[in-house]
Structure 1
Amino acid sequence: MTEERHNEEIFSRTGALYEQLLDNHDEKRANQLAAIMKKAADEEVYIAFTGHYSAGKSSLLNTLLGEDILPTSPIPTSANLVVIRNGENRVVLHTTDGAYAEMKGSYDKEEVQRFCKDGDQIETVEVFAPYKEAEPYVAYIDTPGIDSTDEAHFLSAASILHQADALFYVVHYNHVHSEENIMFLRSIKDRIPNLFLIVNQIDRHDETETRFEDYREQVENMLEGEGIPKESLFFTSVTEPDHPLNGLENLKTHLKQLNREAKANLRPLTEQKIAHLVKEHTDMLEKDAKSGAVSEHFDKQDELVRSLQQKLEKTSRQAEEAERDLKTEVQNILQNANLTPFEMRELASAYLESQQPSFKTGFFFSKAKTAAEKEKRQTEFFADIRKRTEGEADWHIIDTFSKAAKRYEADSDDLIMKIQAYRTPLSEDIMKRAVKQGAAFSAEYVLTYTKDLADMIRREAKRRTAELAEELTAYIRAKNNPRAEDLQKQITEEWKTREELAQAAEEERHAEEKAARVRALWEQKGSAGYKGSRDWFTQKKRAVSAPVQKQEPEQPVPLEDINPEKSELKELPLKEQVQRFYQLTGILESSSMLAKQVAAFQSRIKRLENRQFTLALFGGFSSGKSSFANALIGEHVLPSSPTPTTATINKITKPQNGKKHKTADIIFKTEEELHAEMLQLTELKEADVKGLSLKEKWQNAVKKGKVPHDLVQTVRTIIKAYDTYEDPIRKQLTLTVPVEELKPYVAEESSACAVKEVTVYYDSPLTDKGITIVDTPGASSMNKRHTELAFQYIKDADAFFYMTYYQHSFSKGDRSFLRKLGLVKESFGMDKMFFVINAADLAKTESELETVKDYVRSELLKEGIHRPKLYHVSSKEELAGKKEAYYNRFSDVKAGLARFIEEDLMRASAAQLKTEANKLCETVEQLHESLYQSAEEKEKKKQRLQASFEKALADISKRRTSEVIIRKVIKDTEEQLYHIKQRLSLYANDMLKTAFHPGLQNGEWKENIAGALKEALNEFQFEYIQEMKTLDIRMTGFIESHVTEEWMEDCRKKLLEDGFFSIYVSGENEFAIQLKEIAPYIEPSEFTRHLKEVKSPKQFFEQNGKEAFTEGLRLHLQKVTENWLKKERESLVARYTEHVKQLQKDIADKSLSQIKEQQDTYLQGLTESGSDGEIERLFQTSKAWKNQDEMMKI
């Protein structure tokens, strides 16, 4: 068959296939097929570049093509697909609304680059120019980052993959091993004929950290583990072309060869893509046929329509039904009402007798007595009638109408009150009206009379209940009319859906036939009977003028970064202040009267002087925390590695307790911790791993296939590490090693996975100041122990740095962690957060660096962090001892840290000591004043002192058991729990939208959607844990604020008013609440029912299935959250309340002890003689100290 004949056949076959796909309502794959055939008709090779955002895809493409075409920036830029072709100068913009605009001739590169950033208006940008490095038949495609948090960016990146002849996946040198890379490569490897991994920025490699051969082997092992040959790996550097590890030229050579091979194999590559597409479509049809999903959906929809119709019918006839039922029930009540029992007949007989003309009583004054007797009998008879009617009829009528009102949701207050007030309208006149004129009084007539009277009562009741029933039914009609209208509208809409599903169900029943037809269309030879146009695949788009470019948002005027050099300290340096305080104690320590107070003062000075500080480092994966720690110390202390390891807590502190400089203590995890870690990692339960020892348990689990395939190697590594260090693990022995031998325990997975904590002892200017640096696990780690430690350090650390990488600022996990920092920031007494952009030496210009800083500021602001202390450094250049440059301001970091410690951390303690020093001087002044007072004046002063003491004692005792702070804390807790519930609901909404993305269609749909649900539940559970940890930290801040207000301000102020007493209350470790261990549990089986609503990718993404599914999950998670919070509330309130009670008791005890000591001192001065000379000396020297103090303005 000739080439031309073959082409005609394939275009005809695919045209018929296209029509069949549309008939089968698979528009997505129909459009993909059209795109594949358009490419085939143009005889083009598609080479796609995708990967991490800011990994350097655009820069790499610019370099390969020899021209700056694409916009480049260390922050996310590409927002759409950019297709670069060789040809005459022109640009074609494909808009998101299906139109296109063409700009012919030469163009402004900057203008085109702005279009490349406009993902809202522009879907694809085609750039044509006579590029020397680009073959005329090749289209190079640049995509947004696949790890972009923007779903539109992800879809844009994924949409081109079905067309690519080769895909180059570009990652940053420091982020090769991220989970996102592995998952993406795994999902795409079977769809792309030529898949390659480019590790860009290889110039970041440091041979002193890791041998390149070891690094390359790790990456090759990762690829081969995913079934990708190691020959598909390239290392490149755009910034350092001459770097010895740069394989850019090798990539160029390979790319040219690949282009030629792809061009020569366009037909088989095209047929391979079509075959894959056909398989996807037929698999979908056959799965639908087997699942019966649409038919099941139709049955449910049909049932829904019938249910709505029945509801409408019921709603429409409710009023008539209520009127009929009430009439029947009232009739039954009245018929069964025994209105004329024996007692009533006796009263009726007496009444009738009294109405006879001949009736009279007594002989004397008979007229008056007769009238009175008649009145009495009439009153008694009517009272019985009223009582009996109420008991036999009215109460039952009220009950009947009340039930009817409730049943028909007649909830009008006026109507309910009328029902409750119902009484059959009766008057005494009814007794007379029932009497028949001319009837003779007899026993027989009494029976007739009472029967007639009962009938009259029943008629009155029927009349009044009919009126009440009319009011009730009128209300029901008024309320039901809008309901009926809404139901009718809903029925109309649901009926339309039912009809669509009926057609779809009919198609589903023939799905296997359709699948066979599609397969046959592709596999058969010939034209497949296609009668349409040969260029069926050409999209008919309307031409429009170029869209108006979106204005770049004005960059906010950057807040001036904190520069310690610009801040002038107005107070004495801390060291000099401490010396001044010691000078005062030297003056006063000889006084026996002041001995206790001076000793306490000295103790607090020493505590300030010897205070230890903890500096915690947080940051995302490969943000350079270890390198930054080393740069702070000024030496390569902690090993660093570009590949991830099981995180350990690494500390650097000054040698103490006999520890030697440049040594390290290794603390291993316990058997229980290793076991728990593997259970969490594999998501197995205790019952799944059986054996006599840790090793046996997990070896059995691996052999029996219980450990997920992709985690088997990790579990084996942990078991091997346990084997190697079994003795120190089981006996919990601390291993001490020289710093030079530290690397395996920190940076090599084979050992580091068994290590819990490393403490390095190192003499340096920083550690000599009492600062301990703590290098924590990555902020986004979902390991339970890591989370506990991270939040404990947030709470307890004196300061912490959050590290971001210059070219890859924030991941999804980082953002969640930063949101928590935003929440707790205001609860700290001072701003102890520092933010650092590391690796800023990657900045090409100072202007670019400022752009990155503005981006980081704006992203932090989104997470609630205002006015961050933001620095930019290059840890690498700082360690290399290079001269400071605009991109490396490490001196600012060190100065800012020193300023924070000396001015912020120490200032509060120094200020409190200053107050105490002044009080000591005032005490001496009071004693001196007593020297020149008469006995009478001294006695009066004693009385004032005693009165002041009793007043202070009463005030402190009252505060000791006060409920004021407790009530505030309970209010704060309730308020915070409410906001947690709201935030988690919003978080669930955003999380679920991104968790269930179109990429799940690659591979096994049901398996992928179930996996995404499992991952989402784990993520939500982790977010809840973080929220509750954040709550504890915030409540510590609230309690500190309340205690400060109640004791340090109000109580101290009242004491100072009398001038005798003062108290010293230290906040150190008093206000802190030990973080509670949170272990929420989600039962996965409760959520699997939601998966039954998911029928197929088409139903999910194209028929609003995703919206209904995610909303159902969100509501379910909201209910779970409510249950969690309800369960936690009581224990939280109890814990905080108990903490406040204990806190108040401790502060009260210390305060009472202090004022008692002060009282004793005053009394001693007022009563003892012979110490006049000592007091005079103390007064003169302390006065001189105080005057000098004022002059120096401490």
Structure 2
Amino acid sequence: EDLGIEEAEFEQAFLNSQQHQAISEEAQLLNNPDELMAFLKNKRKNILENAYIMPHNMREMLRSYLESMSQDFNVGGFFNKKKKKLQIQQQRLLTATDALQEHVNQQIRQPMREDMSFVTRFINKKEASDKVLNQHYDVKPEMIEGLYQPQTSISNTYVLTFSDEVVKAIKKYVEQQSTPIFKEIIENVQADELPTEESDDLKEYQRYTELNELRQSLTTKNYRHYYIHLDESLDKLIGRQETTYQVATDNAQDNRDNQQLNQNTATTNMSIDIQKALDIISDVPLFKRTKQDIHETLTRIDNKLIKIGVFGTFSAGKSSLINALLGEHILVSSPNPTTAATTEISYGDESYITLKSQSQLLDEINAVVEYQDMSYSTIEDFINSDLEKLKSHLNKNQLAFIQAVEKHYKLYVNMLENGEKHAINQQELKKWSAEDEYATFVKTVHIALMHDWLKGKIIVDSLGLHSNNQRHTNETEQILTSSDLILYVSYFNHSFTDNDKAFIEHMKDMNQLNENQAFKMVINAADLAESQDDLEAVETYVSDALRQVHLQSDIFAVSSRNALQAEDKGIDQLKQSIQQFVDVESKSILEQQMIHQLQQMDRSYVEMITEFETNKADISRRQQRLTDYKDKQRLQHQLIDATLQHTDNEVEEQVYHLNARLKLQLLDDVKSVFNSQMTQNSDFNEEKKVSTRVYLDQIHQRLFLEQSLITERIKKYFNKQLTEQIAPIVQQLADLHVIINPQFNFESANIEQPLLHIDFNDMLNALPKQLTKRKILNPNGQRDIHESICQSTLGLLQPQMGLLRQQLELYVKQMAVEAESQFESFEANIQTQINDLLAFDLDTTLINQLKDKHQQLKTILY
């Protein structure tokens, strides 16, 4: 009652209050120059005190430099010894300087940028904002060189003392360089202070939360954990042991109960009738644009096509599961992963195929022949070459692919002349999706069926992440990113393998399992279970495995074979769950946004009523601010510039950490391939080629996944930064009853080409000379070989790392352009609402109407 809200809306109101209070506190700080300077200096002090810029390896580099400077340091040879010594000194100094610069960048520069970036939202001068976001502290060799005091020899004590002096010099340098930036911030910062009543409300929220937590603690008695350590200590002292008898939990039944609970919860959450609420306020002459947005969102929900991605390892039973869901044999999966195509199924009556482009087909040809030391610039060159010699070195699947290109290339070219899209009938489906000699040329099979259950859905049978075919991995990434619902299929006899775990961990790394994407685990071929206990044991195993990767999911044990022959309870439950997601759960995010907009309008009604009846001066002040805002751009381009610079810095950070991760991860791949098992091949040179091919296959998969991860992180980071940049403006507008709900939507990066790729011959030539049969059997020699290969791999990747950075920076610029377009739309919305608010005067008739509408909305929204 004190807060004027219902209990059901407490959590959202509390979050809003916290956000408003944070913005208010920032604004108050920025409007006080002395407090702001003290705040910035304190931030800098904390960063410098916690900066770890002198780890052991850094001290050892300084030791190496100091030793070269000592009087007893000698160089070999008889001539030009002084010049040689000077060269060594300079080389070691530069090595130490570069390493120190890297530590300063990570430990000081990056935290300084991040901790002070919030001020850029309130700086109107672009140059000043850029200085905050681009602050850089250049470590020069002279800073190290000038601290050296001549020594006869270098002791451990002097190395430690010298290292401390270097750290002090850097911190002093950072203070000198950053203080002018602080002064420029203070000169250019400008923030509108928000109302202080919010802080009083926040105290009420916090008090309510504390009392609620106390009540829960007393009810559940979880406060007793404070005393557990005392009981444990007494047990150890007197040797007391507790004997427990535990009744086994029926995990499988628990899982089914949870599935039902999840569905009931989702249904409960959707009990608010948004259309009814919209009808109630339709005749109120306020917030026309917001009401139009809600109406358009409702229309979009009704017309939305839910994309269901079906994933699983090769031969996990994805196609048979889809057939079971459809109730008939539609899909015929290719037994050859080299020629398999992605299949999409939707409601309709026009099926068609999309052919691969010439460049896509050529890339796949070169991927097959790469390890035979071959490469072609055109497909015609490939067709006209000596293919018989090549065929003798290929495996069965690769051979089928090459023979298909050789046999039907002319047919493919003729079809391409009429475009990549070609209609097919039901009888041709098997030909283009499962027969190698035709499926080789197909990128995607689009199947349309007049099947009622498919209405509102599109089902995608993916090819799998962990495939040696790069196109498969690329397409799977795209499906994973764009799917609303993910069905992951695991086969009963080998449920949840390492590949299953790797896929789910990758999916979680991409942060795809967020509020607008769902995941369901399917165990196919459940009819292979010998008993109900056998089935429940597998369900429990999969549930535990999912829990270990921190994923809670509905688990469905199904028999596709039984469903196609007669019926299957598991398939029926899965279909019901999918339909529940399509009808209810998939709409929850957009519906919550609409409910929030309706509640915002209702709160504005209440505020207008209160001001009219108790404080009309506030109405005059608000109208004056609206007049000041009229025809003046509220969403400045500088907000996008600041976001772009933030994200460019994040790109640099992500690429740096990728390098650091690969130093650890590549070593595991090297050890798994280049080991004593290589000696089993009598031709060791041939074995080196085979091992190099296996090694590159492994790391190329990892590298492409890393490329996808970074791209997705950058997209999310840009979105988050832009949302934070405009948050103060959104709050200022909300105080004036201008309601905007900016949801940015950026296109995914179209980086299909694997950028982090190493040529086979380059890697083969980079193998160390000590990679011999004798040395690979020696543990010490093997360790040196592993480290050498790892370093060579990282060296070969550096140009590609630069290319990845360039592509990511281009993507950031692309998002900035999209943001400009979306800003224009938001700005038009803002000005429309301002004009509407200025176009009428509050009178008794309107106030009475608002009171009536508020009472009606209360029964629906809260």
Q: TM-score range by the shorter chain?
A: 0.5 to 0.7
Distance apart, 1:898 and its partner CA: 4.2
The DSSP-based 3-state class of the residue aligned with 2:489 is strand
1:473 to 152, 156, 161: 152
Deviates more, 1:622-631 or 1:727-736: 727-736
Distance apart, 1:963 and its partner CA: 5.8
Q: 1:913 to 1:1002 in 2, by over 3 A?
A: same
Where do residues 130-529 of structure 1 align in structure 2 (5 Å cutoff)? 406=89, 472-473=151-152, 475=154
Distance apart, 1:890 and its partner CA: 3.2
1:1061 maps to 738
1:822 to 498, 508, 525: 508
RMSD of the alignment, in Å?
Answer: 4.7
**Letter paired with 1:751:** Y
Contact 2:707–2:756 (8 Å) recurs in 1: no
Contact 2:72–2:152 (8 Å) recurs in 1: yes
2:566 to 881, 892, 901: 881
Distance apart, 1:702 and its partner CA: 0.8
1:675 maps to 362
Distance apart, 1:872 and its partner CA: 2.9
Contact 2:345–2:447 (8 Å) recurs in 1: yes
Q: 1:569 to 1:1029 in 2, by over 3 A?
A: same
Distance apart, 1:774 and its partner CA: 0.8
Where do residues 671-710 of structure 1 align in structure 2 (5 Å cutoff)? 671-683=358-370, 689=376, 694=379, 697-703=382-388, 705=390, 708-710=393-395
Report the Cα distance in structure 2 between the residues aligned to 1:822 and 1:985, rounded to whole angstroms. 22
1:732 to 397, 419, 431: 419
Specify every segment of 5 or more residues in structure 1 that has no aligned partner in the other structure, as ranges: 1-314, 330-398, 414-469, 481-554
Report the Cα distance in structure 1 between the residues aligned to 2:92 and 2:648, rounded to whole angstroms. 38
**Letter paired with 2:330:** V
Contact 1:688–1:706 (8 Å) recurs in 2: no
Q: 1:670 to 1:968 in 2, by over 3 A?
A: closer
**Letter paired with 2:660:** Q
1:906 maps to 587
Report the Cα distance in structure 1 between the residues aligned to 2:688 and 2:622, rounded to whole angstroms. 79
2:670 maps to 992
Distance apart, 1:715 and its partner CA: 0.9
- Is residue 261 of structure 2 the alignment partner of residue 566 of structure 1? yes
1:1128 maps to 804
Deviates more, 1:955-964 or 1:672-681: 955-964
- Is residue 695 of structure 2 the alignment partner of residue 1010 of structure 1? no
1:794 maps to 480
Q: 1:667 to 1:679 in 2, by over 3 A?
A: same
Report the Cα distance in structure 1 between the residues aligned to 2:659 and 2:601, rounded to whole angstroms. 51
Where do residues 1081-1092 of structure 1 align in structure 2 (5 Å cutoff)? 1081-1089=757-765, 1091=767
Contact 1:792–1:1075 (8 Å) recurs in 2: no
- Is residue 714 of structure 2 the alignment partner of residue 1035 of structure 1? yes
Distance apart, 1:994 and its partner CA: 1.9
Report the Cα distance in structure 1 between the residues aligned to 2:450 and 2:539, rounded to whole angstroms. 34
Report the Cα distance in structure 1 between the residues aligned to 2:591 and 2:584, rounded to whole angstroms. 10
1:619 to 297, 312, 317: 312
Q: 1:1181 to 1:713 in 2, by over 3 A?
A: same
Distance apart, 1:790 and its partner CA: 1.5
Q: Deviations over 1:464-487 (max 9, x none)?
A: xxxxxx98435589999xxxxxxx
Contact 1:689–1:700 (8 Å) recurs in 2: no
The DSSP-based 3-state class of the residue aligned with 1:667 is strand
Contact 1:690–1:701 (8 Å) recurs in 2: no
Report the Cα distance in structure 2 between the residues aligned to 1:1019 and 1:733, rounded to whole angstroms. 32
**Letter paired with 1:1132:** L
TM-score (norm 2): 0.64
1:1113 maps to 789
Contact 2:403–2:437 (8 Å) recurs in 1: no
Distance apart, 1:895 and its partner CA: 4.3
Q: 1:781 to 1:947 in 2, by over 3 A?
A: same
Q: 1:974 to 1:953 in 2, by over 3 A?
A: farther
1:1022 maps to 701
Contact 2:633–2:827 (8 Å) recurs in 1: no
1:1093 maps to 769
Where do residues 61-100 of structure 1 align in structure 2 (5 Å cutoff)? none
The DSSP-based 3-state class of the residue aligned with 2:567 is coil
Q: 1:561 to 1:974 in 2, by over 3 A?
A: farther
The DSSP-based 3-state class of the residue aligned with 1:1078 is coil
- Is residue 849 of structure 2 the alignment partner of residue 1157 of structure 1? no
Distance apart, 1:613 and its partner CA: 1.5
Structure with more contact order per residue of length (Cα contacts < 8 Å, sep ≥ 6): 2
Q: Deviations over 1:475-524 (max 9, x none)?
A: 589999xxxxxxxxxxxxxxxxxxxxxxxxxxxxxxxxxxxxxxxxxxxx
- Is residue 666 of structure 2 the alignment partner of residue 979 of structure 1? no
2:103 maps to none
**Letter paired with 2:353:** I
Q: 1:1101 to 1:1076 in 2, by over 3 A?
A: same
Q: 1:474 to 1:581 in 2, by over 3 A?
A: closer
1:393 maps to none
The DSSP-based 3-state class of the residue aligned with 1:623 is coil
Report the Cα distance in structure 2 between the residues aligned to 1:814 and 1:967, rounded to whole angstroms. 38
Contact 1:799–1:833 (8 Å) recurs in 2: yes
Report the Cα distance in structure 2 between the residues aligned to 1:777 and 1:807, rounded to whole angstroms. 21
Report the Cα distance in structure 2 between the residues aligned to 1:874 and 1:992, rounded to whole angstroms. 41
Report the Cα distance in structure 2 between the residues aligned to 1:573 and 1:475, rounded to whole angstroms. 74
Report the Cα distance in structure 1 between the residues aligned to 2:158 and 2:723, rounded to whole angstroms. 57
**Letter paired with 1:1033:** E
Where do residues 820-899 of structure 1 align in structure 2 (5 Å cutoff)? 820-825=506-511, 828-830=514-516, 832-853=518-539, 855-856=541-542, 864-884=549-569, 889-899=570-580
- Is residue 820 of structure 2 the alignment partner of residue 1145 of structure 1? yes
**Letter paired with 1:1038:** Y
The DSSP-based 3-state class of the residue aligned with 1:961 is helix
Pair member with larger Rg? 1
Distance apart, 1:1021 and its partner CA: 2.8
Distance apart, 1:813 and its partner CA: 5.9
The DSSP-based 3-state class of the residue aligned with 2:840 is helix
Q: Deviations over 1:545-566 (max 9, x none)?
A: xxxxxxxxxx999695374322
- Is residue 432 of structure 2 the alignment partner of residue 753 of structure 1? no
The DSSP-based 3-state class of the residue aligned with 2:386 is helix
Report the Cα distance in structure 1 between the residues aligned to 2:419 and 2:792, rounded to whole angstroms. 44
- Kindly tell me the number of residue pairs found equivalent between the two proteins: 646
Q: 1:961 to 1:850 in 2, by over 3 A?
A: same
1:654 to 326, 344, 347: 347
TM-score (norm 1): 0.48
The DSSP-based 3-state class of the residue aligned with 1:561 is helix
Q: Deviations over 1:256-302 (max 9, x none)?
A: xxxxxxxxxxxxxxxxxxxxxxxxxxxxxxxxxxxxxxxxxxxxxxx
Report the Cα distance in structure 2 between the residues aligned to 1:477 and 1:982, rounded to whole angstroms. 29
Report the Cα distance in structure 2 between the residues aligned to 1:643 and 1:672, rounded to whole angstroms. 21
Distance apart, 1:707 and its partner CA: 7.7
**Letter paired with 1:650:** T
Specify every segment of 5 or more residues in structure 2 that has no aligned partner in the other structure, as ranges: 1-66, 97-148, 160-247
2:408 maps to 721
2:302 to 604, 609, 633: 609
